[in-house]
Chain A
Amino acid sequence: MQPDRRRRIVPVLILFAGLALACSNRPPEHGSDGTSLPEGKRLAVVSPSAAEMLAELGMLQQIVGIGDFVSRPRELNRLPRIGPYNAPNIEKVLELRTDILITVLSDAAQASNTRLRKLGVEVLELDTSHWEGTRKALMTLGLRLDRAARAEQVLDVLDEAMSDIRRRAEGFDRPKVLFVVGRDPLYVAGPGSHIDAMIRTAGGVNAAADSGSSYQLVSLEAMLQRLPDVIIDTSDNGPDALRGQRPGPWGTWEFLPAVRRNRVFWIDPDLLVIPGIRQPAMTARMGRLIHPEIFGEPVEADFEPSPEQGTTETTIEDSP
């Protein structure tokens, strides 16, 4: 071989060696808290709601991998990401020697779930899109992970919190609430969504209760004509997103009761839109927005800007 060619090959070999090292990526032997994994199942969780439930069940140290959309509790962000819920990285799941993958009940994920089961990974599918599903999911996790007593304990606290909100809102007027998920085009929470359930529990009426589905593209004209008393807008995101109690662009329609009475709220979607174990805390927040005379005026934490992924933390206020 010519010396020139040999000289050219050396950097290439170094590059390949570097790449091989980078790709070897052995599974971590440490849990999310940095300590060694105790005996027990190795868990991978792609459902954000389930991750929060596992925290409540004291199972964080069993988790070895998380999905792309999982960001709470904060300590999980140190773990390897295994992709979105609908297409988890099967190789990564196996490489992490996962015993149980905890995921969202979704048709889109069926193909990858079936494949994982064939490869020996247990897949636990949980429907946390509504409150009853969340309750059931918590018990399922508790039973499967030998934490049934703890799950029941947590559930009792959550049920009590929900009942308390419902009880306090009874007998009051029910303001019309427009919950905006997207503004252009106008996309709102409709019947069957957990947001609709929270509005009703907190003593309000969903202005889009007759729209076709749980999240629906709706006519701006129709919503304006319904004269909502409260507008909760979670559509604005990004660094300069509107937050707080102010009319914002809704101020154009000064005839709306929500604008006239200064009841337009700009809120980070993470504080109200993501269903799951935080639902009692989210419903209480909804209560402050809809019925300040019952639940008190909104607090500063209700308008916190969205933390970047990787720095998110379950606040004490949100914790059940």
Chain B
Amino acid sequence: MRTARKPLTAAGLLWGVAILSAVLAGSILAGLSAGGGEGGLKSLLFPGEIDDHNARRILLEVRLPRVLLAALIGGALTVAGAVFQALLRNPLADPFVLGVSGGASIGSVLAVLAGLGGTGAGMAFGLDGRMVFAFMGALGALILIEKIATVDGSMSVYTLLLTGAIFNAFSGAMIYFLQSIASLVQLHDIVFSLMGHVPSTGYGTVGVLAIGIVGTVLFLFFHARDYNAMTLGEEGATQLGVDVEKIKRRTFVLGSLLTGLAVSVAGLVGFIGLVVPHMLRLILGPDHRMLIPCSFLGGASFLVLADLLARTIILPGELPVGVITALVGGPFFLYLLRTRRTGHEFR
């Protein structure tokens, strides 16, 4: 028998956020405790006991920024997935469904072909040419899709979904075209630029991404009540006083911005934006006031742990993190789906 979930209280929200914050802190500590180098968490917490200065530097300058980057990217993709699922009222929606990732991928490939994907391209704020091109591609796609999907000042979610699907197909074809005119060496770079992978960058990238992602997530959180209303359908939400058009447009733009930021830096890390919001919905219920902050924290924890596995399973080799997110997330999600049916899976 299904039991009705209690309405969300401030205390409930605080508890949820506190628990997932603790999970994220634990994940970050786990992420710092192991890696390709010998320096572990101990050398960070007790620097005096560790003679190896190099190990500590590697820990602080390679592992720590990567762990933080994984947290930001995981959080961004999961929140984007959660709000797109609310916007489209479609359980299959993920951050890549509306086509922005296709634009980012084209930008990334163009950077490689233009010779701006490499080290010599010069970096600003820790971002290399490929990241900047990818973000510009995502932004271009966002504007284009928004224009196409807006008819008579109104944005239909069906038109938006179809436009996104078609733009993704177009992007795929465009990437195949660009690959077919690329040289052998460029082909290699293209494959890696599209593969989901948390890069080893400096704190500059972490800082830029943190400002963009945390600011956007907070903005979306302040509209959480509107997303709750949107679960009743556009008509129902309008009756509750929600400016549906404004919410749809903002959600599309901000969700796409989160996706663009994440894809520009890490490529297409699949599965996380689809599965983690559903997992949390199964566990915490459908209230977006809880779901949005917890999606950020849960997605961040998930990707930090997935990246930990990706960089330690076959040392000194590494795996693309997308392999881990799919291999671990898929079965776990199916387990939850079978054991935790609450009636709140998706509304």
Q: List the interface of chain A (C-beta within 8 A of B).
A: 69, 181-187, 208, 210-213, 216-225, 227, 233, 235-242, 248-249, 252-253, 255, 269-270, 273-274, 309
Is B288 in the interface zone, CB < 8 Å from A? no
In angstroms, Cα B63 to Cα A273, docked, is 30
Give the contact stretch, choosing among B167-175, B255-263, B311-319, B325-333. B311-319
Most buried by A among B119, B199, B312, B314: B119
Which residues of the other chain, B, contact A220 by a CB distance below 8 angstroms?
36, 62, 200
Which residues of the other chain, A, contact B312 by a CB distance below 8 angstroms?
219
Cβ-closest chain B residue relative to A188: B316
| B319-A240 in contact (CB<8A) | no
Is B128 in the interface zone, CB < 8 Å from A? yes
Which residues of the other chain, A, contact B201 by a CB distance below 8 angstroms?
184
Q: A187-B188, A238-B115, A255-B57 are in contact. List 20 more A-B contacts (CB 8 A).
A: A182-B189, A182-B192, A183-B118, A183-B119, A184-B128, A219-B35, A219-B311, A221-B58, A221-B62, A221-B63, A222-B35, A225-B37, A227-B54, A237-B117, A238-B114, A238-B116, A238-B118, A238-B121, A240-B115, A248-B119
| B120-A242 in contact (CB<8A) | yes
Shortest Cβ distance from residue B309 to the other chain A in the assembled complex, whole angstroms: 12
Which residues of the other chain, B, contact A182 by a CB distance below 8 angstroms?
188-189, 192
Cβ-closest chain B residue relative to A226: B316
Given the contacts A219-B316, A225-B37, A186 and B200 also touching, CB distance less than 8 Å: yes
Given the contacts A219-B35, A220-B200, A309-B183, A237 and B318 also touching, CB distance less than 8 Å: no
| A221-B120 in contact (CB<8A) | no
Which residues of the other chain, B, contact A309 by a CB distance below 8 angstroms?
183
Which residues of the other chain, B, contact A184 by a CB distance below 8 angstroms?
128, 130, 192, 199-201
| B192-A185 in contact (CB<8A) | yes
| A237-B316 in contact (CB<8A) | no
| B314-A225 in contact (CB<8A) | no
Which residues of the other chain, B, contact A224 by a CB distance below 8 angstroms?
37, 54, 58, 62
| B119-A218 in contact (CB<8A) | no
Is B245 in the interface zone, CB < 8 Å from A? no
In angstroms, Cα B188 to Cα A185, docked, is 11
In angstroms, Cα B55 to Cα A237, docked, is 31
Is B243 in the interface zone, CB < 8 Å from A? no
Is B185 in the interface zone, CB < 8 Å from A? yes
In angstroms, Cα B186 to Cα A273, docked, is 13
In angstroms, Cα B184 to Cα A309, docked, is 11
Task: For A236, give its contact among B120, B184, B186, B311 (CB under 8 Å).
Answer: B120
Which residues of the other chain, A, contact B186 by a CB distance below 8 angstroms?
237
Cβ-closest chain A residue relative to B267: A185
Cβ-closest chain B residue relative to A220: B200
Is B197 in the interface zone, CB < 8 Å from A? yes
Given the contacts A221-B58, A240-B115, A208 and B199 also touching, CB distance less than 8 Å: no
Given the contacts A184-B199, A220-B200, A235 and B37 also touching, CB distance less than 8 Å: no
In angstroms, Cα B192 to Cα A249, docked, is 19
In angstroms, Cα B315 to Cα A233, docked, is 21
Most buried by B among A69, A210, A222, A242: A222
Cβ-closest chain B residue relative to A219: B36
| A187-B192 in contact (CB<8A) | yes
| B316-A210 in contact (CB<8A) | yes
| A225-B36 in contact (CB<8A) | yes
A-B contact pairs, 11 of them (CB 8 A): A182-B192, A184-B200, A186-B318, A217-B320, A218-B316, A219-B315, A221-B63, A233-B119, A236-B119, A242-B119, A252-B61
Cβ-closest chain A residue relative to B197: A185
Is B235 in the interface zone, CB < 8 Å from A? no
Instruction: Mark interface residues in B35-78 (1 if CB within 8 Å of A CB, else 0).
Output: 11110000000000000011101100111000000000000000
Cβ-closest chain B residue relative to A84: B180
Cβ-closest 10 pairs across A and B: A238-B115, A219-B36, A222-B36, A221-B36, A221-B37, A222-B316, A236-B118, A242-B120, A225-B37, A220-B200
Which residues of the other chain, A, contact B188 by a CB distance below 8 angstroms?
181-182, 187
| A225-B55 in contact (CB<8A) | yes
| A221-B192 in contact (CB<8A) | no
In angstroms, Cα B121 to Cα A252, docked, is 17
Which residues of the other chain, B, contact A269 by a CB distance below 8 angstroms?
185
Which residues of the other chain, B, contact A187 by a CB distance below 8 angstroms?
188, 192
Task: For A237, give its contact among B37, B115, B199, B202 (CB under 8 Å).
Answer: B115
| B118-A237 in contact (CB<8A) | yes
| B317-A216 in contact (CB<8A) | yes
In angstroms, Cα B128 to Cα A248, docked, is 14
Cβ-closest chain A residue relative to B193: A184
| B192-A211 in contact (CB<8A) | no
In angstroms, Cα B182 to Cα A237, docked, is 12
Which residues of the other chain, A, contact B183 by a CB distance below 8 angstroms?
69, 309
Given the contacts A182-B188, A224-B37, A225-B54, A219 and B115 also touching, CB distance less than 8 Å: no
Task: For B120, give its contact among A216, A225, A240, A253 (CB under 8 Å).
Answer: A240
Given the contacts A212-B314, A242-B120, A255-B54, A222 and B37 also touching, CB distance less than 8 Å: yes
In angstroms, Cα B316 to Cα A270, docked, is 26
Which residues of the other chain, B, contact A253 by a CB distance below 8 angstroms?
57
Which residues of the other chain, B, contact A213 by a CB distance below 8 angstroms?
317
| A239-B317 in contact (CB<8A) | no
Task: For B317, give its contact among A183, A218, A249 (CB under 8 Å).
Answer: A218
Which residues of the other chain, B, contact A241 by a CB distance below 8 angstroms?
115, 118, 120
Give B186-206 interface residues, CB cut-off 8 Å to A. 186, 188-189, 192, 195, 197, 199-202
| A235-B36 in contact (CB<8A) | no
Shortest Cβ distance from residue B116 to the other chain A in the assembled complex, whole angstroms: 6
Shortest Cβ distance from residue A90 to the other chain B in the assembled complex, whole angstroms: 16
In angstroms, Cα B248 to Cα A317, docked, is 64
Which residues of the other chain, B, contact A212 by a CB distance below 8 angstroms?
314, 317
